[in-house]
Structure 1
Amino acid sequence: MKRVMLLFLAIGLLSCGTSKTVRVSKKVIKGDWTLSAISYNKTGNYNVTLLNDASKDCFEGSTWQFIPNNNTGVYAINKSSCPSGDRNFVFTIQEVNAETGLYDFLLKPTNEKSKSETNQGFRLKLAALSETDMQWQQTVSVDGNPFIITMNFTKILK
């Protein structure tokens, strides 16, 4: 009897797996991307460090690779005036509202073995995703007011 109950429990858990939106998004995000532009919703000169790593100028032009079958990836900053090199991360696409199709992108920097040294991650809104373009938005607080950072990616077609 216990085995039958465990079987039904396992089937129930598997049927509640990732939504169709998330599965499709993972297929689309797979591959190589360039972070082509970063903008802010307020005008002015801001000294922003993205992902606790580098400045906006360093991130623009960085290349990103997403491997959805194990939720890992690597981004590389290549500008000579910046701390260059590869950075590893794990990511999750999390559906926020099934009716609107809105979802979040959770990104956690890791080492090469997918282990986080700080256990710190970042929640970004996956605002747009197509076969060629992707947009993330991160809302932070500046002087108690919302400040939105928008990151636009372009897929590298092979």
Structure 2
Amino acid sequence: MKNTLLLLIAISLVSCGTSKTVRDSKKVIKGDWLLNSITYSEKGTYNVNLLNDASKECFEGSTWQFVPNNNTGVYNINDTSCSSGVRNFVFTIQEIDPQTGLYDFLLKPTNEKYKSDTNRGFRLKLTSLSDVMMQWQQTVSVDGKPFTITMNFNKQ
């Protein structure tokens, strides 16, 4: 009876694991990235504070490191005219539609011990991922209309 129970628990844990696609994505995302550009879906000048941290101008040129085996990472704001320095985060990749290959990327800022002070995070769409580039999109509402922020990364 005890062995049967252990077998059932093991089967349920394996069946609830991450998909092969998500595991493969974590292998690709591992490493160092440069956030080279941020664009908006609408023309104009906007005062956007990304990840409740800094402006578009501060984030462009920031360097990112992802460690998927423990779902942690850091990004570094390199622009000296901004509040520069290393920021820590935890992340999760969730497959939302196996047919389209779309993912949600959940990012939660943390302290240096990877503990969140606010328990707040950000849901972004991981719209493109390859060995050399990655793209995130976040849609927010501006004046009641959808407004998409696109963040483009290159692998270092």
Three-state SS of the structure 2 residue aligned to 1:42 is: coil
CA deviations on 1:21-71 (whole Å, 9 max, x unpaired) are 101100000000000000000000000000000000000000000000000
Correspondence for 2:103: 103
Q: Give runs of aligned pairs for residues 2-151 of structure 1, distance below 5 A.
A: 2-151=2-151
Distance 1:81 1:99 in 2: 43
* Displacement after TM superposition at 1:6 (Å): 3.4
How many residue pairs match? The answer is 156
Q: Deviations over 1:91-129 (max 9, x none)?
A: 000000122211110000001111000000000000000
| 1:154 lines up with 2:132 in the alignment | no
Deviations 1:75-94 (A, max 9, x none): 00011110000000000000
Partners in 2 of 1:100 and 1:80 — Cα distance?
40
**Range that drifts further, 4-13 or 106-115:** 4-13
Unaligned runs of 5+ in 1: none
Report the secondary structure of 1:23's partner residue: helix
How many Å separate the matches in 2 of 1:79 and 1:104?
28
In 1, Cα distance between the equivalents of 2:76 and 2:51?
13
The unaligned stretches of length 5 or more in structure 2 are none
Could you list the runs of 4 or more consecutive aligned residues of structure 1 that deviate by over 2 angstroms after TM superposition? Answer: none
CA distance in 2, matches of 1:138, 1:99: 21
Distance 2:98 2:10 in 1: 23
Q: State the SS of the aligned residue for 1:11.
A: helix
Distance (Å, rounded) in 2 between the aligned partners of 1:100 and 1:141: 24
Partners of 2:12 and 2:81 lie apart in 1 by: 53
RMSD: 0.9
